[in-house]
């Protein structure tokens, strides 16, 4: 039975990493789900309280990073509040149509379109769109690093 549980845990971890580029998958919560399954179905002694506190705090922060990274970068490059929301919506909608590539194309196209509609120059709209894209990609990179750190810590404790 333990093999079945480990298979599900590994599937959750792989799905968590897939969630970095597929916004329909909640990346950090899936990883936390793998930790919970291990704790409740395999060994309830291996993971310390410090691990759990850190894992829950990082899960909340990583979940928020999706929105904050793009918003911070967009603001830095002069995006309006409407453009920030357009970037988030563009990432979600374009991903449904284009798959993972939509996560890159969606924010860029959406922000440029909104900025142009607000009568900004083409150069400023592209600069804002690229800044927003850098924020989204930076957020993905940061989340990947932190999730890998959590996974390594988990494996050190359980193996």
pLDDT at site 139: 84
Which pair of tokens denotes residue 69? Answer: 């990274």
pLDDT in tens, 16-49: 999 987 777 899 999 999 999 999 999 999 999 9
Percent of the chain with pLDDT over 90: 54
pLDDT at site 70: 65
Break the chain into its structural domains and give their ranges.
2-158
pLDDT value at 133 more than 80:
yes
What one-character-per-residue DSSP string does the chain give?
Answer: -HHHHHHHHHHHHHHHHHTTT-TTS-HHHHHHHHHHHHHHHT-SSSS-HHHHHHHHHHHHHHHHHHHHHHHHHHHHTT--HHHHHHHHHHHHHHHHHHGGGHHHHHHHHHHHHHHHHTT--HHHHHHHHHHHHHHHHHHHHHHHHHHHHHHHHHHHHH-
- The pTM assigned to this predicted structure is 0.82
pLDDT (average), residues 72-84: 79
The answer to whether 93 and 41 are in contact (CB under 8 A) is: no
pLDDT value at 9 more than 80:
yes
pLDDT (average), residues 84-97: 84
pLDDT (average), residues 121-148: 89
Please state which of the ranges 55-59, 64-68, 83-87 shows the lowest mean pLDDT. Answer: 64-68
Confidence of residue 67 (pLDDT cuts 50, 70, 90): low
Percent of the chain with pLDDT over 70: 96
Which pair of tokens denotes residue 84? Answer: 């920030």
pLDDT at site 92: 81
Confidence of residue 59 (pLDDT cuts 50, 70, 90): very high
pLDDT at site 40: 97
């Amino acid at each position: 039975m333990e093999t079945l549980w480990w298979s599900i845990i590994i599937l959750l971890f792989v799905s968590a990493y897939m969630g970095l580029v597929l916004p329909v998958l909640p990346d950090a919560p899936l990883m936390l789900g793998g930790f919970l399954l291990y704790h409740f179905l395999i060994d309830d002694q291996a993971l310390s309280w410090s691990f759990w506190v850190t894992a829950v705090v990082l899960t909340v922060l990583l979940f928020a990073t999706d929105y904050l990274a793009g918003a911070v970068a967009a603001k830095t490059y002069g995006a309006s509040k409407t453009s920030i929301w357009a970037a988030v919506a563009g990432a979600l909608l374009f991903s449904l149509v284009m798959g993972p590539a939509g996560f890159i194309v969606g924010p860029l196209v959406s922000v440029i379109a909104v900025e142009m509609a607000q009568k900004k120059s083409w150069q400023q709209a592209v600069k804002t769109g690229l800044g927003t894209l850098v924020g989204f990609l930076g957020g993905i990179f940061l989340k990947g690093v932190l999730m890998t750190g959590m996974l390594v810590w988990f494996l050190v404790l359980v193996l």
